[in-house]
Structure 1
Amino acid sequence: MKVAFKQWFISFVILTILLFGETTIAQKGKGVDQCNETLTNKKGTCDANQCKTACAKRHKTGLGMCTNGEDNNKGKVICICHYQCPR
C-alpha cells in the first residue's frame, strides 16, 4: 500500500510542476505585440549601424534593420525599427 502511494504522490508532484511550467511559459508570451516604425534620414538611404542606433535611441528594446521599401517607397532601402508595443 505504501509503495503505490509513493508512486502516485511522485507522479502528482511531477505533473503539478509541469503544469505550472506550461502556465508560466504561456503567460510570458501573452500580450507581446511587435510594432514597426519606419525611420528615415535626410539622404533617404539606410546604413545598418545608423539604423540600429536610431532605433535603440527611440525604443530601448528596439531592433533596427535595413530592408527594401514598400510600394510607396518605390523599392528604396529603408530602416525599419521593430520594438515591443507599449501596453
Structure 2
Amino acid sequence: PLSVIFGWPIVLEFLSGAHDLDVHFIETNPRHNLPVLLALTDTWNDVFLRAHARTVTPFTEAFAHFPRFAAALEAQACGSPVDRHN
C-alpha cells in the first residue's frame, strides 16, 4: 500500500488533493473544468487523431515506477490481465 511506501502524511496529502479535484469537478463550469477538458482531449485524440497512447512522466524520483503502475491500472480497467512482475 501507498502508506507503507510513502507514509501516512503523504497519503493524507494525496487524498486531500483528490478531494480538492472532486470539488473542482463538481463546482467548476465545464469550460474551465480540468477533468472535463482532459476527458474531451483524450476522446479527441483517440477518436479523431487515432492517437491511442498517452504520456505519464514522473516529476520526481519517488514516482519513477508510477508510469508502469498507471499503464497496468489502465490495462486492468480495460479487462486485460496484469502481471505484477512485469
Q: TM-score with structure 1 length normalisation?
A: 0.26
- Structure of larger gyration radius: 1
Q: Which of the two has greater strand per residue?
A: 1
With normalisation by structure 2, the TM-score equals 0.27
Q: Which has the higher helix share?
A: 2
